[in-house]
Amino acid sequence: MTVIYRAARVFDGQAMTANRRVVVEGERIVDVLGDDGPERDVVELGEATILPGLVDAHVHLVWDGSVAPESVVASESAVRTSFRAAARAEAHLRAGVVAVRDLGSTEALAIEVAGAIDAGLARGPRVVAAGRAVTMTGGHVHCIGREADGADAVRHAVRAEIKFGAECIKLMASGGILGPPGELPGAVQLTAGELAVAVDEAHRAGRGVAAHAHSVESIVNALDAGADSIEHGSRLDAPTAARMADAGVYLVPTLAPLRSICANGRALGMPPDVLAKATDLLDLTAESFHTALAHQVPLAAGTDAGVPTQRHGLVWQELATMVQLGCPPEVALRAGTAGGARLLGLGDTAGRVLAGARADLIAVPGDPRDDPSVLARPCLVLLDGNPIVAHHREEPAWTSRC
Ligand SMILES: [Zn+2]
């Protein structure tokens, strides 16, 4: 069956063009046309903008965004947590997110959610899951990690996650904001040697590697090892940014969650030491992001959804924050579509609106270059050509609470 979606403009994953028609046949886009053409089977979206479905390159499906999400997980059975994680995946999809990368869960639950969605047992975006994050003993968020020390143990940890079905590998190269008072975000955790072994093992199995790294030293360690993305990267300097750009290593700056913790954490009762760490990094992350923009470091949008104050399905906030900090809107839109899709390894046409690509599309009411918040209100979400949200049709009444 062929359906033609017509809108005032189309962002194709790279650039915006006016007055386009996107022709969808089954699960594929078969053509993108100008304003002239047949009127048959046209869905008129008016002043809307059609975009590729959004991609969130950093989420934690087992976490709920509450003040202490690890305590919620610890208080429930793994089965209950799995149901909640699946509901959160669906929340992403209904918000126009067609792919997420899960960078740390308990008991490989995010891998199970990915499999359940693939098998048609649950409805959600494509989930590229790391399983447990590989972290040193007592390392950053070891509650969603697999602790390993020394080259042999780290190699085993990576092999074990791949055995469980991990499609990517997450490594903790530095400390972080969430953690005990003594954990410093800038402190090196997995060593350069441990990171090198882990990346070698992951790449030989065809898995991409995400390295959580705040300080320059930990970022350099991750780059030396060959990591594919730097998560957070809050103290990126110019030489390191230039190196990332040259090597095509992505930055996933997770700007919105840090701002949300600083703005809302105190009222929600977050520990003072965590708030102090977040406040210390706030201006540094903005500077790092500017450095990344200046050096044209490849960007992917990630929300760290599930960490305190950060609910699921809000990737539009990350794109809006990028723009607030001076990022050109089309660069931010690329980070939330084609950039993320490429980092997740979803294929050359993923995150694009062009002939031959999967029909994973959204439409939003207005021009997101003028007002990124329109991305929060998709009037159309297609996954493989199937309408998930379609305001021109009748809406399903039920939505999950997650
Ligand atoms: Zn994270």
User: Model confidence over 92-142: pLDDT tens digits?
Assistant: 999 999 999 999 999 999 999 999 999 999 999 999 999 999 999 999 999
CATH class of the domain defined by 2-52+351-394: mainly beta
Residue 255, pLDDT above cutoff 90: yes
Q: What's the 41 CA to ligand 1 centre distance in angstroms?
A: 43
Q: What's the 105 CA to ligand 1 centre distance in angstroms?
A: 10
Q: Report, as an integer, the average pLDDT of 355-360.
A: 98
Q: What's the 204 CA to ligand 1 centre distance in angstroms?
A: 24
Q: What's the 370 CA to ligand 1 centre distance in angstroms?
A: 30
Q: What's the 50 CA to ligand 1 centre distance in angstroms?
A: 29
Residue 252, pLDDT above cutoff 90: yes
- Burial class, 36, CB count within 10 angstroms (exposed 0-12 / middle 13-18 / buried 19+): exposed
CA pair distance 219, 225, nearest whole angstrom = 10
CA pair distance 41, 362, nearest whole angstrom = 18
CA pair distance 91, 399, nearest whole angstrom = 8
Which pLDDT belongs to residue 398?
A: 46
Q: What's the 119 CA to ligand 1 centre distance in angstroms?
A: 26
CATH no. for 54-343: 3.20.20.140
Sign of the four-CA dihedral 147, 73, 54, 386:
positive
Amino acid type, 172: M
Amino acid type, 305: A
Q: What's the 359 CA to ligand 1 centre distance in angstroms?
A: 29
pLDDT in tens, 19-50: 899 999 999 999 999 977 777 889 999 999 99
Q: Report, as an integer, the average pLDDT of 230-237.
A: 97
Which pLDDT belongs to residue 400?
A: 45
pLDDT in tens, 156-189: 999 999 999 999 999 999 999 988 888 899 899 9
Q: What's the 144 CA to ligand 1 centre distance in angstroms?
A: 10
Which pLDDT belongs to residue 182?
A: 85
- How, if at all, do strands 28-33 and 145-147 pair? unpaired
Residue 318, pLDDT above cutoff 60: yes
pLDDT band of residue 397 (cuts 50, 70, 90) is very low
SS3 316: helix
Q: What's the 103 CA to ligand 1 centre distance in angstroms?
A: 6
Q: What's the 307 CA to ligand 1 centre distance in angstroms?
A: 7
Q: What's the 355 CA to ligand 1 centre distance in angstroms?
A: 34
Which pLDDT belongs to residue 53?
A: 98
> Which segments of the chain belong to CATH 3.20.20.140?
54-343
> Which segments of the chain belong to CATH 2.30.40.10?
2-52+351-394
pLDDT band of residue 278 (cuts 50, 70, 90) is very high
Residue 374, pLDDT above cutoff 80: yes
Q: What's the 112 CA to ligand 1 centre distance in angstroms?
A: 18
Residue 399, pLDDT above cutoff 70: no
Amino acid type, 211: A
Task: Tell me the residue ranges of DSSP E strands in 53-120.
Answer: 54-59, 97-102
Which pLDDT belongs to residue 301?
A: 98
Q: Report, as an integer, the average pLDDT of 139-149.
A: 94
Q: What's the 60 CA to ligand 1 centre distance in angstroms?
A: 6
Which pLDDT belongs to residue 391?
A: 82
Q: What's the 312 CA to ligand 1 centre distance in angstroms?
A: 13
Query: Does residue 292 contact residue 251 with C-beta atoms inside 8 Å?
Result: yes
Model-level pTM? 0.96
Q: What's the 304 CA to ligand 1 centre distance in angstroms?
A: 5
**How far does CA 307 lie from the centroid of its chain?**
13
Q: Report, as an integer, the average pLDDT of 268-294.
A: 94
SS3 145: strand
Q: What's the 172 CA to ligand 1 centre distance in angstroms?
A: 10
